[in-house]
Amino acid sequence: MHIGSISTQPVETCTADCSALALAERMRHAHVGDIVVVEYRDGEAVPVGLVTDRDLVVGVMASREDPDRFTAGQIMSRGLVVVSETDEMTVALDEMRRSGIRRLPVVDDSGRLTGIVTLDDIVEYLASLLGGIAQVSKLQRVEEQRFRK
């Protein structure tokens, strides 16, 4: 399964100059826990960082500083890890495990942001697969009963 097929699209984005207060307001309005920080290169959004709700709490709110004084560029994660939309799910899981992260921006072959995938997205997909597999044995019993009367 290619990761692009289970990624969330569209993605909430901002530029590095967005204030922490604006980030929090946008997260609340969109009901998301992260915003991808992008730079526009040749008119295309290229991910350069990620700000999570935890970054806002630990990096800004806990310091009791004015959230308007902090920008996304100051609090975003460094060394952003991304996956290609054509990568298999196992690649995304390996990256999450290796890096200790739960969210990965998804990019196309030119590095343009196309989505985001979270550990929850992957777990939900795997759960649906397992649910489908569980139905096989139930259907098998029904079919046996129907033909063996």
- pLDDT over 70 percentage in the chain: 91
Whether the predicted model's global pTM rises above the 0.95 cut: no
Predicted local distance difference test score (pLDDT) of residue 61:
87
Q: Name residues whose C-beta falls within 8 Å of residue 52's C-beta, 6 or more positions apart in sequence.
A: 33, 34, 77, 103
Q: Tell me the pLDDT tens digit for each residue of 51-103.
A: 999 999 998 988 888 888 999 999 998 889 999 999 999 999 999 999 999 99
pLDDT exceeds 70 at position 8: yes
Residue 136 binned pLDDT confidence (cut-offs 50, 70, 90): low
Q: Average pLDDT of the chain?
A: 91
More confident residue, 136 or 39: 39
Q: Which residues pair with 4 in a beta bridge?
A: none
- Percentage of the chain modeled with pLDDT above 90: 76
Strands 34-41 and 44-52: antiparallel
CATH value of 3-118 in 3.10.580.10, 3.40.50.10860, 3.20.20.105, 3.80.30.20: 3.10.580.10
Q: Which residues of 14-38 are buried (b: 16+ CB within 10 A; e: fewer)?
A: beeebbbebbbebbeeeebbbbbbb
> What per-residue confidence (pLDDT) applies to 27?
96
